[in-house]
Structure 1
């Protein structure tokens, strides 16, 4: 069982993810925006974080940057309802951008429950496996 934080301004999305993950045996905490997510992150040890990219106030990319400063090793799954860019002339692909900035996985809304649960399982398993990149990130984070 993992302790998971969901940061999303859409109450229906929060409820859906929370229900799916609780049914899978996880403990869930929700936050409605980036600032609240950062506050909740500081109050508990979380194993995984779901983070919406587009929220009012502090967006998901800024929230992710601040989370990485506080807890660089926490796995983050970014979610977004904005369409993925199919060609170079259209809007940027924010999900890909977020993974390049440090998210370990991404999901396009609406997503299938099986895709969500598979992403969670992959991220939690990867977080349990010591890797050179996470060891290096931990060492870098511990330097003054």
Structure 2
């Protein structure tokens, strides 16, 4: 059986490692990108079953990633996550991500159970 592949895009190396280890422990294969530009290149080269993206990043923001994915890969399954610096800017970013087509949105820190539940639900549908 092929393991579902998940692309994780986040500029924080600790978050990349945390999410990657968590998902691998639960039977998923992961691909990591430290910004949206790299993430989109990796996705175009070899699309994954799900994308988890931070919203606030250098190079290419998560909002741009979501917009590009919706334009070029309408069926992409996307989870958007933001710490957003200020709580209000983070929630505004997540509202925009939701409107642009993110399947789920979360504020950092995300509980592992919530993240895993969302991943499982999106991959089953």
Q: Which stretches in structure 1 are left out of the alignment for 5+ residues?
A: 127-144
* 1:119 maps onto 2:121 in alignment: no
Give the TM-score, by structure 2 length.
0.90
Q: Which stretches in structure 2 are left out of the alignment for 5+ residues?
A: none
Residue 112 of structure 1 deviates from its aligned partner by 1.1
Give the TM-score, by structure 1 length.
0.79
Runs of 4+ in 1 over 6 A off after TM superposition: none
For the residues of structure 1 that align with 2:90 and 2:54, how far apart are their CA atoms? 17
Higher radius of gyration, 1 or 2: 1
* Residue matched to 1:94: 93
Q: Secondary structure at the match of 2:45?
A: coil
Question: In the comparison of the two structures, how many residue pairs are matched?
Answer: 122
* 1:23 maps onto 2:38 in alignment: no
For the residues of structure 2 that align with 1:41 and 1:55, how far apart are their CA atoms? 17
For the residues of structure 1 that align with 2:34 and 2:80, how far apart are their CA atoms? 15
Identify if the C-alpha distance between structure 1 residues 119 and 43 changes in structure 2 by more than 3 Å, giving closer, same or farther.
same
Identify if the C-alpha distance between structure 1 residues 91 and 113 changes in structure 2 by more than 3 Å, giving closer, same or farther.
closer
CA RMSD of aligned residues (A): 1.6
